[in-house]
Amino acid sequence: MLVLGIFRSSPWRFKWDDGVGVSKFPLMEDRMVRLKRSMWGALVFLLAVAMLGALFGCGKSEKPQAAKPGQKSQQKALVQASKAKPVNESDVLARIGDVTITNADLDQEIASIPVYMQTKFKTKSGKIELLNKMVENELLAKAAVDAGLDKDPDIMRKIANARKKILQNEYYRTHLKEKVGVPEEKIKQYYEAHKDKYKTRARARVRMIVFSDKKAADKTLAELRKEPKKFEQLARERSKDASTAGSGGLLGWVTEGGYIRGLGKDPGVNQAIFALSEGQISNVIRTKRGTFVIVKVESLQPAAYRPLDEVRRRIADDLLVNDEQIKKYYDEHKDEFISKERVKARILVLENEKRAKQARQKLLKGLTVDKFSAFAKKNSIDKTNARNGGYLGYITRGRYIPGIGRDPAIEKIIFSLKENGLSKPVKTKRGWSLFYVEKKEPSKLKPLERVRMLIMNKLRRKMREEAQNKAMDALKRKYGCQVFEDRVTGTESSQPSSSRDIRNIFRPR
C-alpha cells in the first residue's frame, strides 16, 4: 500500500513540532521544493509517515525506538511497508523499485482527499497529476531511509509521538466525540426518517459566453453547432464578461437553484443549465439583466444523500437537546438574555466652547436628524465623523463610545437625552462636542427565538462535557490513574489558564 494512503486523517496536511514551529506540508503543492521547509524536512516528514505505515500496517504495537540489533526486523518492515501485494500488471500505474502504485492505490488516495477537492482528481489529467505526486513522495520516503533518518533517535521520538496522537484522536472520535449522549441506533433511525434534510443539490461545471445582443449570440451558436470544440476559443474572442473570457468562459461549479457568477440568482439560466447533459451546449438564453448567454456543461454531479458518517455529529446535536430543555433554560436564566439600553447617536465637534454654544442655538431651531447631519458635515472639525454627518452608531450603556472610549460622565450625558435631543457643549478628547440622540432603545428581554441557537449550543457543550468527563473518570478507574497535583512546582499566576485554554492546546483533531 502506498505509504501516504495509510492514514485517511493525514494525507493532505500532516503536522509536527520540530522545535522551530509547527510544520505544514500540503500534498498538493505544485512541487515539493515549494514547501516552506527544506528538502531535508520533507524527507523527515515522509519517513515519519512511512514508519507509521510500517508500525500500523504490520500490526506492530511497540513504540518505535532508535535502531538496535534486535530491531532489524522492524527496519526491514519499514522498507517493505509500501510494497504492493501481487497485482495484475495492467493495474500497475507506476513502479518505484520493488514498490508498485496501482489503480486501487490511486482510488484510495482520491478517497482520502477532502470531498470538495475530489472532482478535479477524478479526471484523467487530475489523476495523472496526483499519480506523479504519489511517485515523488514514494521516492522521498525511500531516500529518507537511505539517508539513515530511520536511525535518528530524535526522529524516532517524533514518530512515536505521532503514533500516540493518532491513536488518541481516533479513540476520541469513535468513542467519545461521535457517540457521547445519543445511542447509535437512535441516530440511524433519525437519519432514515429525515434523509431529505441531508440531500445535496446537483452541481454542474459550466462555461458561458456572454453577449450584449441576440444577433451576435445566434451567429456564435450556429458556429458552435458545427464545431462544438471551439467553445473556449469563441468565449475568449467574443464574451463580454471580462472576468471569465480569459479562461475560455469558465464559470466553475454552479449549484442547482443557486447563484451564477456574474448573473446572481437567475432561475431561467439555472434551469437551462440543469436541463443539459454533460458536454451539451445550450440554445441562446436571455438573462434577467437583458444580456444573452450560451452555456456548456462540462461535467455534472447529481443530487445525492450525504452518507451517515458525514452527518452523524449534526444528527447527534439535533437529538441531544430538545425544545423543552431550551425553553426551561431560557425561563430559568432570563437575566442572561436581557439586552442593555442603547442609543443611536451623532456628534458635532468644534474648536471652542463659544462656537459650540452658538452652534447649539442654531440647531435647536427646528432640530431634526437631517439638520444635525448637514450641519456636522459642514462645520465639524472631526473630519472622520463629519463625512458621515457625525454618526457614531449605536452606543450601549457601559460600553465603549467611538472615538472617546469609556467615559462614565459623557455616557451619563448621552443617556440622559431624549430622542431628537441635543446636549449642551461638553469637553471631550476630540474638542468641544455636542451630542445628538437620534433613537433610544430601552433594556429588554430578548425573545426566545432570537437566542434559541445560543442556548442550544450552550446545552450541547455542557451535556457533551459532562458525558466526556464521566467517560474519562471511567478510564481513570479502569487504568488505575493517579494525579499528584501537590508535587507540581511553579509560580502562581493571578490569571490562571481557563479550561478553554487547556482544551484548545490539547484538543483532538
Q: What is the pLDDT of residues 426-460, one digit of tens each?
A: 999 889 999 999 999 999 999 999 999 999 999 98
Q: Give residue 459's Cα distance to chain centre.
A: 23
Average of pLDDT values for 23-41?
A: 38
| CA separation, residue 60 to residues 54, 68, 408 (Å) | 8, 16, 67
Phi, psi of 429 (to 5 degrees): -65, -15
CATH class of 341-442: alpha beta
Q: Is the dihedral of CA 359, 362, 364, 367 positive or negative?
A: negative
Which runs of E-coded beta strand occur in 355-491? 391-396, 421-422, 426-428, 431-441, 444-445
Lowest-confidence region among 4-18, 133-147, 400-414 = 4-18
CATH class of 202-302: alpha beta
Question: Residues of CATH 3.10.50.40 domain(s) within the chain?
Answer: 202-302, 341-442
Q: Answer yes or no: pTM beyond 0.75.
A: no
Query: Is 359 in contact with 350 (CB distance < 8 Å)?
Result: yes
Of 41 and 260, the structure prediction assigns the larger pLDDT to: 260
Q: What is the pLDDT of residue 163?
A: 92
Q: What is the pLDDT of residue 291?
A: 95
Q: What is the pLDDT of residues 35-81, one digit of tens each?
A: 334 444 545 555 555 555 544 444 333 344 444 444 444 444 444 44
The contacts of residue 227 (CB under 8 Å, 6+ apart) are none
Three-state DSSP state, 63: coil
Q: What is the pLDDT of residues 303-352, one digit of tens each?
A: 999 999 888 888 888 888 889 999 999 999 999 999 999 999 999 999 99
Q: What is the pLDDT of residues 344-396, one digit of tens each?
A: 999 999 999 999 999 999 999 999 999 999 999 999 999 888 889 999 999 99
Q: What is the mean pLDDT of the chain?
A: 82
* Residue 20 reports pLDDT greater than 50: no
Please give the share of the chain, as a percent, with pLDDT higher than 90.
Answer: 57
